[in-house]
């Protein structure tokens, strides 16, 4: 088992779970107003500049749970996992009854190490999330990853099957979770074909308040999820979202084989009201990944991209 095992497993289903978890947290508290004013972001603001402003705001109001959550998300999106963990730990300490914050912390801790095992502090954070919400999908996913990397492959697969059974039809992580099961089963020579064929997604799902829209299976932030920046004034909120989406586009230019990333970018551009840029992302995705053309085209149609 190589040291990158946790990272590879984390970048599939857990990534989609994380996006929805952010959205649920925001929808539960989307009327919250920022506690202190922040200087409006400039159109040329970079992710680092937006993060710096948010850090300055938190120095003024260190009890702002939502601000720490957003800071953790911003660090995570820029692959600064250790710093994301620090921010999420502050948020979870301030709001210890919030399962999503503990599972966010666990994920950041898991990805901040190059060790093959699931770190003890990450596992502890996931267990705290489960103690609060036994159905928390991200914590369940990663605790199963921990079993897999420690050698309990059957136990991990059983846990992933239990999560799959609780997963709403069309949930963003459904396809990646099935793929994880298939890959680990193939690696360990465990026959799961019949179980996968027999499993039925939960009609209401483990979290009935998850967004249910036609594009739910397409990775990427919805309008509600991108409003995780709601703790900031509107101008800075929009600039931070825009900078994150631009950053995703830059990553895809460096790694154009990331089909899930292209679909995330397509969705984000449509959410931002940029159909021309969404169309350009669609064309680039197909050009770079002709074998996935049918999947990408289907996403474009579902998103309503012109010509899709």
Taking only Cα atoms into account, the Rg of the chain, rounded to an integer number of angstroms, comes to: 19
Confidence grade of residue 262 (pLDDT, cut at 50, 70, 90) = confident
Q: How confident is the model at residue 226 (pLDDT cuts 50, 70, 90)?
A: very low
What is the C-alpha to C-alpha distance for residues 12 and 160, in angstroms, rounded to an integer? 13
* pLDDT at residue 143 is higher than 90: yes
Task: Find, among 216, 158, 223, the residue nearest to 185 by Cα.
Answer: 158
Residue 274 tokens, joined? 């940029």
Task: Kindly compute the dihedral angle of the four CA atoms of residues 176, 177, 180, 184, in this order, to the nearest 10 degrees.
Answer: -170
Output the furthest CA–CA distance in the chain (Å, rounded): 57
CATH of domain 5-218: 1.25.40.10
Place of tokens 């995330």: 264
C-beta separation of 89 from 83 below 8 A: no
Q: What is the pLDDT of residue 215?
A: 34
Question: What pTM did the predictor assign?
Answer: 0.63
pLDDT at 93 over 90: yes
Question: How many residues make up the chain in this entry?
Answer: 308
- Write the pLDDT tens digit of every residue in 148-202: 989 999 999 999 999 999 887 766 677 778 888 998 999 999 999 999 999 876 6
Q: What is the 3-state secondary structure (H, E, C) of 139-197?
A: HHHHHHHHHHHCCCHHHHHHHHHHHHHHCECCCCCHHHHHHHHHHHHHHCCCCCHHHHH
pLDDT confidence of 273, banded at 50, 70, 90? confident
Tokens of 100: 């999503």
CB contact set of 193 (below 8 Å; sequence gap of 6+): none
275 has a pLDDT exceeding 80? yes
Rounded to an integer, the average pLDDT of 237-264 is 78
* Whether 126 contacts 103, CB under 8 Å: yes
What pLDDT was estimated at residue 201? 66
Q: Are 279 and 270 in contact (CB under 8 A)?
A: no
Phi-psi region of 118 (alpha: psi -120 to 50; beta: other; left: phi over 0): beta
Whether the per-residue pLDDT at 225 is higher than 50: the answer is no
Specify the higher pLDDT residue, 192 or 268: 192
For residue 42, give the DSSP letter.
P
Q: For residue 35, is pLDDT > 50?
A: no
pLDDT exceeds cutoff 60 at 133: yes
Give the pLDDT score at 218: 37
Residue ranges per domain, the chain?
5-218
Element (H, E) at 217: none
Highest mean pLDDT among 44-53, 182-191, 200-209, 254-263: 182-191
Mean pLDDT of the chain, nearest integer:
76
- Phi, psi (rounded to 5 degrees) for 140: -65, -40
CA dist., res. 83 & res. 94, Å (int)? 17
Is the CB of residue 229 less than 8 Å from the CB of residue 240?
Answer: yes
Kindly report which listed range (111-120, 125-134, 150-159, 223-232) carries the lowest average pLDDT score. Answer: 223-232
Tell me, what DSSP letter sits at residue 276?
H
The C-alpha atoms of residue 242 and residue 236 are separated, in whole angstroms, by 10
Specify the pLDDT at position 49: 76
pLDDT of residue 25: 39
What is the per-residue pLDDT for 238? 61
């Amino acid at each position: 088992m190589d040291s990158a095992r946790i990272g590879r497993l984390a970048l599939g289903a857990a990534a989609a779970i994380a996006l929805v978890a952010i959205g649920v947290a925001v929808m539960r508290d989307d009327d919250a107003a920022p506690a202190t004013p922040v200087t409006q972001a400039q159109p040329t603001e970079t992710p680092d500049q937006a993060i710096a402003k948010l850090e300055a705001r938190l120095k003024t109001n260190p009890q702002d749970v939502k601000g720490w959550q957003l800071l953790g998300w911003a660090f995570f999106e820029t692959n600064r996992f250790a710093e994301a963990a620090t921010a999420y730990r502050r948020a979870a300490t301030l709001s210890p009854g919030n399962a999503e914050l503990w599972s966010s912390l666990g994920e950041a801790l898991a990805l901040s190490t190059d060790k093959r095992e699931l770190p003890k502090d990450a596992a502890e954070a996931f267990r705290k999330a489960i103690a609060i919400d036994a159905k928390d999908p991200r914590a369940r996913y990663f605790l199963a990853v921990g079993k897999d990397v420690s050698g309990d492959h059957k136990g991990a697969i059983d846990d992933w099957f239990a999560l799959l059974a609780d997963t709403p039809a069309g949930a963003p992580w459904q396809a990646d979770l099935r793929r994880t099961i298939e890959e680990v089963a193939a690696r360990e020579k465990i026959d799961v074909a019949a179980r996968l064929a027999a499993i039925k997604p939960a009609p209401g799902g483990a979290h009935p308040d998850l967004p249910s829209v036609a594009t739910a299976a397409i990775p990427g932030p919805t309008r509600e999820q991108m409003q995780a920046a709601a703790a900031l004034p509107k101008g800075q909120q929009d600039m931070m979202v825009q900078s994150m989406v631009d950053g995703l586009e830059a990553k895809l230019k460096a790694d154009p084989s990331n089909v899930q990333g292209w679909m995330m970018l397509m969705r984000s551009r449509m959410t931002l009201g940029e159909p021309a840029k969404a169309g350009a992302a669609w064309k680039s995705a197909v050009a770079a990944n002709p074998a996935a053309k049918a999947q990408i085209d289907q996403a474009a149609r579902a998103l309503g991209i012109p010509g899709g």
